[in-house]
Amino acid sequence: MSAYPEIRPGCSLLIAWQLKDKRVVLVGGGQVAAGRLVHLLQADALVTLIAPSSNLNNEVRYRITTDPLAMSRITWLDRLYEGPHDLDGAEMVLTAIDDNEASLKIWEDAKGLKIPVNVADVPPNCDFYFGSLIRRGALQVMVSTNGRGPKLAALIRQRLEDALPPDVDVAIEKVGRLRELLRDRAPGVGGKLGRDRMQWMTSICETWDLGELAQLDEPSMRRLLDEGWDHNKKVLKHDDIFGRRFWKHAFLEESDAIWFAGGVLIGGLLAIMHLRRRI
């Protein structure tokens, strides 16, 4: 038995493709195109949409005529696809039309220009597939069946989404902010410092659960760094940060709290003795 992971061929390379401000050509204006358009806009892509107005469904029409954010990112060509010149400057091409002959022509043009292309519902003509996506803030989880069962991917995605804690997106944002503060405090790329930062952040994420991470705020993050990272990279627990807040919120230091508790106890004993004398 090897100590290394088993190679299991036949899967796709799942990556988070960065499309911010990159040109993507989308051919089609129906229901499938509407879904593709949402994915592209959420990825901050610049979209060239090629579809005659007579072929637009209600959602696509809304995006290009009413939605301010979408309108600022979409260039709409009110016509059919014409040829390779429609793909100038594109870094990705998507087709979502019912015309198989036209889809094949677009695929051939894209391949000739070495542009990654996806032809909806035709897996052999796809350089990549769209999976079923979970989106919670910065969290994205994709379920893919490599084009074999899109409906099954959607059902599996729903089960996974139902299992996620409600504040997972908040926890991710807080961890991201803590990483920023750590980099500000310990700047640098690579080397031992980079490894130490990664190990410390990993240990925090393993020590705190998602609900606890979601409770982090700026003061508690800075305290984690002050009393943890700056003290030999110690990993503080949730109770180390939040467990002593009562005394601080009550304007009492811990030593004052001990005297306060002692005073309450002595006062109680004196009251009991006084009642006994009266009886």
Catalytic one among 67, 99, 121, 169? 121
What torsion do the CA atoms of 55, 60, 66, 72 make, to the nearest 10 degrees? -110
63 SS3 class: helix
Which residue shows structure tokens 């594109």? 90
- Catalytic annotation present for 98: no
Q: What amino acid occupies position 117?
A: V
Q: pLDDT confidence of 189, banded at 50, 70, 90?
A: confident
For residue 167, what are the contacts with CB-CB under 8 A and spacing of at least 6? 210, 211, 214
pLDDT bucket at 123, cuts 50 / 70 / 90: confident
For residue range 98-112, what is the model confidence (pLDDT) as tens digits?
999 999 999 999 999
Q: Which two tokens stand for residue 194?
A: 């980079």
> Residue 271: what pLDDT?
53
- Residue 253: pLDDT over 70: no
Assign 148 a pLDDT band (cuts: 50, 70, 90): confident
255: its two tokens:
């030593």
**Does 191 score more than 70 pLDDT?**
yes
**Which amino acid, residue 14?**
L
Q: 3-class SS at 91? A: coil
The overall average pLDDT reported for the chain is 89
> Is it the case that residue 246 has pLDDT exceeding 60?
no
- DSSP percent split of the chain into helix, strand, coil, nearest 5: 55, 10, 35
- Residue 247 has a pLDDT of 42
pTM of the model: 0.76
Judge residue 60's burial from the number of C-beta atoms within 10 Å of its C-beta, 0-12 exposed, 13-18 middle, 19 or more buried: buried
